[in-house]
Structure 1
Amino acid sequence: MKAILKIGVFVFVLSFFGLSSFTTPKDGVMNTKNQEEKTITGVYDGHEDYGYNFIYKLSDGKERTMTFQIAEADVLKAHDLESEDLIGGHFNVTYTITTETIMDENDFEEEVETKTITKLVAVF
């Protein structure tokens, strides 16, 4: 009888902790994951409705464009990224990537990445 009681308690505790790890999504967002800060050196290519564009070179010399959807308030206060005056300028761009898992309109999980500029330093 004690063995059955111990097994019952064990199953209850295991079930409690297992089920408590599930959360109800808020506004369709199921999981948010922040990654460490990274830095690139790039040339500012302007602002679009969808973000701030910087062109940078890969180690093999090929150029890529990275778009940042968000710039922190301190960055925007120090640099008017909506002005055309900064286009063509060289910058060290420090940023983070936030990955969210959301449910789309068909109830499928979808990962959405948001790149945020946390620091912007002009390179001369």
Structure 2
Amino acid sequence: MPIKPENRGFYPIDWPQLSGVIRFKRAAGRCEGCGRPHKTLVCHLGDGRWWDAEAREWRGGVQPTGRDMVQLRRTYVVLSTCHRNHDESDCAPRNLVAWCQSCHIRYDAPEHARRRRVTFLLRKALGDLFLGPYRA
């Protein structure tokens, strides 16, 4: 995932090398959440179940039925190095994880909802009468 220009100052100078170590040395080119391999086209059902072509089996849950196969989709998997605590300045190895798009968006959903709510509130007013000013 590209770094936003306004956040570039929070990342260390050697971020590309650090990200590469996390994704390819520690995680061995696979998502640390679900195990999907980097830069491959994966067949999946959208609910976390996906076909592992190397192991020739379904991963991520219950074996799909014929009715489930109607929902079959294909996605190109790209690993990204993500911050568990959403703090771009904390680049300790224990805070970094290699995730595919699906695992990353699933993990970040509560944080995205929080930021969306704050953005909505900031459009309306500078703060709340009882709670004080809104913080981004």
TM-score class, shorter-chain normalisation, is: 0.3 to 0.5
Bigger share in strand: 1
Asked which structure has the greater CA Rg, the reply is 1
